[in-house]
Chain A
Amino acid sequence: MNKPVYLAVFITALWLVLGLMAGLELSDPDRIDLGRILEPPASGSLLGYDDLGRSIAARLVAGARTSLVVALTVVMISALVGTVVGITSAWFGGWWGRISVMLIDIFMAFPGLLLAIALAGILGPGVSNAIIALAVVGWVGFARLARAQTLSVRERDHVLAARAMGTRTPVILVKHILPLILAPLIVQATFDIAGAVIAEATLSFLGLGVQPPAASWGSMIRDGVRYMLSAPHMVVAPGAAIFLVVLSINILGDRLRDRLDVRMLNGRREPAAPRETLA
């Protein structure tokens, strides 16, 4: 592994740890210290204070939790729904196949984030509504991928052999289809986590995500925009956090894709099999 990958692992791990730690309330992100309003970073105050005198470091940690919870929940729901829709669509075909493809096409036709913003606007602000809005947009990618992959392994002989033995369809799907299409889905999930972090920040920036006083990196940037010239640290700190976390996850995703691809290649070509000996 080279240096960027180590760094990416470190930053992602930090994000996970901080996100989980925020629940322990080590420092109160909502505590107001009127004497320190807009105080820039200095010794004694790690990242400075915001316009209400709250510690930006503490709010950054609280924001990590928000982005972590939203991103993981969204990707889990999307992956589950999308994979089920995709596999069943390809396997059963017929009217379900046609309707699911039509649905996928309709959702793909909209720019994802715009649709999510519109949905979040209709549902009203709040973390759970943001999750719902993002998941509604997110499942489509998984569905399309799972469908395409299933179509390509569906005709393999071992699937046919399983049918010839009278194996029940759910068993075939779980034992013969899913394990073979898992690798690209895992890679897709990794990239989607990064996308969800940005999407959550965007919704919060627009005021459609978490509600004040709860902290999110997106809402922190929104609060900071008004003071951008006088107190740039309010924008820089959450902006850098988003940038670093998304970059790190993407680097890891790339890495993961390379690894899984190589293995798939070997799986297809098969490593040199032992030679038969002369009988």
Chain B
Amino acid sequence: MTHLLEVNNLTTQFGSGERVEAVVDNVSFSVGQGETVVLLGESGSGKSITALSIMRLLPQAARISGGDILLGGDSLFTLSERAMRHVRGGRIGMIFQEPQSSLNPVLTAGQQIGEALQQHKGLKGRDQLLRAVELMDAVGIPEPDRRVHEYPHQFSGGMKQRIMIAMALAGEPDLLIADEPTTALDVTIQAQVLELLRDLQKKTGMGILFITHDLGVASVMADRVAVMYKGQIVEQQGSDAFFKSPEHEYSIHLFNSLPNRDKRIRDEKTAATMPDRSGKPLLSVDNMKVYYPIRKGLFKRVVGHVQAVDDVSIELYAGETVAIVGESGSGKTTMGKGILQLLEVTDGNIVFNGEDLNRLDAATLRKRRSDMQIVFQDPYSSMNPRMMIADIIEEGMLAQGIGSGSSDRQNRIDKLLTDVGMKPEHKLRYPHEFSGGQRQRICIARALAVEPKLVICDEPTSALDVSVQAQILDLLNDLQQRLGLAYLFITHNIGVVEYLAHYVAVMYQGRIVEQGAVEDVLYAPAHSYTRKLLSAVPMVRTGTEDK
């Protein structure tokens, strides 16, 4: 039986001479008509380079050094560059992760779809426009007659990804390569786009090569799963078999890293037991509001307000974790920064340890800052690239007058680094020498250096691979038990909430629509938005526990 796409022993290398590295190492797989094959792997595993090798769109430093790729039985490597242009967008369509930067901002949606139509179908003028409208309709963009003339900035992220899909479909491809197409999207939008792709596949019978790092998404999409690790495919199985009983050690590791309720029970973390909520709360936020004025016209009159955080109330006790869940733009980060007084709060009381932070003068507030710290999402921008690790961790101690002298502070730095699973000798290095997960550990050490009672974690694991995420969550859990820390954990990942949090508040458009104990909110949601959010999360059909 001939497959639509056959990749045989593909090897792609970076560099030349002595420093050759095979990023894709002897990879073989195939995609059949109407079949979806998911290429699953963490960052750096070579999955995107595999896709680019198929399209022959590799970056300059890379070179295909072996193997063959057959599309419908014809080798792609023997084609001329001219013939290859007809394959790209013609027989193979491709969509990318970042819809924001994949569209040209100065061309209308119709013009961009039209470009593909002209190239591959020879359509011009009115025919082209009509077909573009048809395609936009097919990918579920409302009012396509009108919106075909709009520019990318007038579309939301999910709509932009739909336009990308329409462009990829313009050439009526036999094969669609989707490289993390929903990673940049909110979970409710992701669910819509995934459904759209499945629908389109049913209608057109195209094969899909779907690249993702997300086990949940893989579970929803895949007919077959190929797991990539360090440039090699370590396991290839039918979807049902794979999710029931992954075979390779690395696949099993991936499943075990996935944060959720099962893992919480398996790991026997204290998070499974509810902390004592008697006494006074450590932090209590009452009717907090953060409004931004909208100014218009010549005199910059205030014509309205953006209500980034609107009337939010929340309580946090020592030693517990409260998760704030919401999609992008829901105001969860603004709320976190507002609590720490890192931006101006319009109204409301933020009582920490019996004091209203809103009413403290600058000098007192500076002293109180040692009690509350923050860990950011992006481990790359959250450390000064020109400072050594020791200086980064010491900075807070100096500001707060912690430690009796330089040697005492150095000892503390050594201990902090050990506490977060790093080595004391790491302190003489610079941030760029560390991986994302290691940097996040250092950021945690920096936050702990001033001996806080409360740490606000702003999506601390969102930029990390799932296996690294598991390690960081583990560390946070450990530190909470040892030091009695309270966490306000901001996240969009429901699995993380299940794994780590005691209480959860769901935010939507600046308001908390529902809050309560994790078990209540996640397993018996009361608010319609919570239900919508939960049902959009792609669930992994695990069967690992049965074994």
- Residues of chain A at the chain B interface (Cβ within 8 Å): 156-158, 160-168, 171, 175-176, 179-180, 267, 270-271, 273-276, 278-279
Contacts and interface: CB of A to CB of B under 8 A. Distances in A.
B24 to A, nearest CB: 16
B382 A161 contact: yes
Which DSSP category, helix, strand, loop or mixed, fits chain B's interface? Answer: helix
Contact of A166 (B396, B470, B471): B396
B415 interface: no
B205 interface: no
23 contacts: A157-B381, A158-B383, A158-B384, A158-B392, A160-B337, A160-B342, A161-B374, A161-B376, A161-B446, A161-B447, A162-B395, A165-B450, A166-B367, A166-B399, A166-B450, A168-B399, A175-B387, A179-B386, A180-B386, A270-B380, A275-B44, A276-B467, A278-B250
Residue in A163, A168, A275 with the greatest tally of chain B CB atoms within 10 Å: A275
B261 interface: no
Interface in B340-371: 340, 342, 365-367, 369-370
Contact of B381 (A158, A163, A279): A158
Contact of A273 (B369, B386, B432, B450): B432
A164 B436 CA distance: 22
Given A165-B399, A171-B399, 7 more contacts: A161-B446, A162-B395, A167-B396, A168-B366, A273-B435, A276-B438, A276-B467
A204 B387 CA distance: 45
B468 interface: yes
B437 interface: yes
Nearest to A271: B432
Interface string B246-274: 00001001000000000000000000000
Given A273-B434, A274-B435, A160 B384 contact: no
B465 A276 contact: yes
B329 interface: no
Q: How large is the interface on B (under 10, 10 to 19, 20 to 34, 35 or more residues)?
A: 35 or more
Contacts of A176: 384
Contact of A157 (B382, B398, B468): B382
Contact of A276 (B370, B384, B437): B437
Residue in A162, A164, A180, A271 with the greatest tally of chain B CB atoms within 10 Å: A164
A165 B366 CA distance: 8
B66 interface: no
Contacts of B373: 164-165
Given A164-B369, A165-B369, A156 B434 contact: no
A279 B250 CA distance: 10
Contacts of A171: 399
Given A156-B381, A158-B381, A161-B376, A276 B468 contact: yes
Contacts of A273: 432-436
Contacts of B468: 276
A180 B387 CA distance: 11
Interface string B418-442: 0000000000000011111110000
A164 B456 CA distance: 11
Contacts of A162: 395, 399
B516 interface: no
B62 to A, nearest CB: 14
Contacts of A161: 374, 376, 382, 443, 446-447
7 A-B pairs with the lowest CB-CB distances in the bound complex, closest first: A157-B382, A165-B396, A166-B369, A166-B366, A179-B386, A273-B435, A157-B376
Interface in B85-141: none
A275 B435 CA distance: 6
B414 interface: no
A160 B446 CA distance: 13
B395 A167 contact: yes
B471 A160 contact: no
B315 interface: no
Contacts of B342: 160, 163-164
B281 interface: no
A168 to B, nearest CB: 7
Contact of B374 (A160, A179, A274, A276): A160
B235 to A, nearest CB: 15
A275 B342 CA distance: 33
B380 A278 contact: no
Residue in A163, A166, A171 with the greatest tally of chain B CB atoms within 10 Å: A166
B385 A267 contact: yes
B384 A179 contact: yes
A153 to B, nearest CB: 9
B530 to A, nearest CB: 30
B535 interface: no
Contacts of A279: 253, 467, 470-471
A164 B384 contact: no
A165 B384 CA distance: 14
B378 to A, nearest CB: 6
B399 A167 contact: yes
Contacts of A166: 365-367, 369-370, 396, 399-400, 450
A279 B473 CA distance: 13
A37 B360 CA distance: 80
Contacts of A270: 380, 432
Residue in B395, B433, B468 with the greatest tally of chain A CB atoms within 10 Å: B395
B382 A158 contact: yes
Nearest to A180: B386
A109 to B, nearest CB: 21
Contacts of A278: 250, 253, 467
A216 B44 CA distance: 61
A162 B443 CA distance: 11
Nearest to A272: B44
Contacts of B369: 164-166
Contacts of B446: 161, 165
Residue in A162, A171, A180, A279 with the greatest tally of chain B CB atoms within 10 Å: A279
A175 B388 CA distance: 12
Residue in A158, A160, A271, A275 with the greatest tally of chain B CB atoms within 10 Å: A158
B456 to A, nearest CB: 9
A165 B433 CA distance: 24
